[in-house]
């Protein structure tokens, strides 16, 4: 075992200076106000590379390149789409929802926000979003949340998806669940705000580094709708030029730093 080398006073001071600089930028930066929800119905997708129908109770895995856009689209109430993400070049880097909500000061991830990895880099940007009704707090469904006995639940789906990607249970991060309007009441209890969903909602996610994704379409445990889970449509679209003032890249000081980390590789 290598002996521990004490850090020098200069190294400690340099780290402290970097921290104080980040803190100062965060406190003085005025975040841009999140935009209005994207319109309904969803516009026609651009540069379509592939389209997949994901039945209720099932999962899929995807590998996407940086700049590509993945559209998630529902067709009826009852679908909640859970997502896990890993860097395609180093799967030890994965989606980190606690950091994602902490550094952006919100659990309501919607249009204009980003999703961070556990290495402080941006994995996905939410470029379009018709509802803002998503759950970054409670994860996917467990053994009683599949919708019907014939449909698997998200816990089982993610284990199978991870195996298909050459990963294990321990590699599965906390899940982001789209089309799941989970909110917290004054008493600190989770509740389902069904008024936020239309049944035909959609989200566009821009891929900010090469990624492997696992997605599971199941009924959320808090969803009062008990019918069979409807299918969702996944549309993969080609990369397009990104404007210098792109909202997701400039909305918060934390996002700006995240993209600086992306640029460093």
In tens, the pLDDT along 24-76 reads 665 566 667 778 899 999 999 999 999 999 999 999 999 999 999 999 999 99
Separation between Cα atoms, residue 194 and residue 139, nearest integer Å: 18
Is 144 a residue whose pLDDT tops 60?
A: no
Closest CA to 87 of 255, 209, 259, 260: 209
Over residues 239-243, the mean pLDDT reads 95
Facing residues of 61 across strands? 214
176-219, pLDDT tens digit by residue?
999 999 998 999 999 999 999 999 999 999 999 999 999 999 98
CB 240 within 8 Å of CB 157: no
Is 222 a residue whose pLDDT tops 60?
A: yes
Closest CA to 252 of 136, 106, 128: 106
Bond prior to 222 in cis (omega within 30° of 0): no
62-80, pLDDT tens digit by residue?
999 999 999 999 999 999 9
85 pLDDT band, cuts 50/70/90, is very high
Is 247 a residue whose pLDDT tops 80?
A: yes
Percent of the chain's residues with pLDDT above 70: 90
Paired sense of beta strands 176-178 and 122-129, if any? unpaired
Separation between Cα atoms, residue 178 and residue 128, nearest integer Å: 13
DSSP assignment letter at 153: -
pLDDT score, position 47: 97
Paired sense of beta strands 80-87 and 211-218, if any? antiparallel
Phi and psi angles of residue 119, each rounded to the nearest 5 degrees, phi first: -115, 15
Helix (H), strand (E) at residue 249: helix 247-250
Phi and psi angles of residue 248, each rounded to the nearest 5 degrees, phi first: -60, -30
């Amino acid at each position: 075992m290598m002996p521990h080398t004490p850090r020098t006073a200069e190294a400690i001071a340099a780290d402290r200076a970097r921290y104080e600089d980040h803190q100062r930028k965060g406190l003085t930066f005025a975040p841009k106000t999140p935009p209005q929800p994207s319109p309904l119905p969803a516009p026609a997708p651009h540069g379509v590379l592939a389209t997949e129908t994901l039945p209720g109770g099932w999962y899929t895995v995807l590998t996407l390149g940086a700049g590509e856009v993945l559209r998630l689209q529902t067709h009826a109430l009852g679908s909640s789409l859970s997502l896990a993400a890993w860097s395609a070049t180093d799967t030890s880097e994965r989606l980190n929802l606690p950091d994602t909500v902490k550094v952006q000061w919100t659990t309501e991830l919607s249009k204009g926000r980003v999703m961070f990895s556990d290495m402080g880099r941006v994995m996905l940007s939410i470029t379009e979003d018709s509802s803002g009704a998503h759950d970054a707090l409670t994860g996917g469904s467990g053994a009683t949340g599949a919708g019907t006995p014939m449909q698997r639940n998200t816990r089982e789906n993610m284990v199978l998806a991870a195996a298909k990607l050459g990963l294990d249970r321990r590699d599965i991060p906390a899940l982001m669940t789209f089309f799941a309007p989970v909110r917290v009441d004054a008493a600190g209890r989770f509740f389902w705000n069904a008024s936020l969903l239309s049944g035909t909602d959609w989200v566009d996610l821009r891929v900010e580094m090469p990624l492997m994704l696992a997605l599971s379409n199941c009924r959320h445990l808090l969803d009062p709708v008990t019918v069979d889970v409807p299918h969702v449509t996944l549309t993969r679209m080609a990369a397009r030029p990104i404007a210098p003032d792109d909202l997701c890249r400039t909305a918060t000081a934390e996002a700006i730093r995240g993209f600086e980390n992306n640029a460093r590789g």
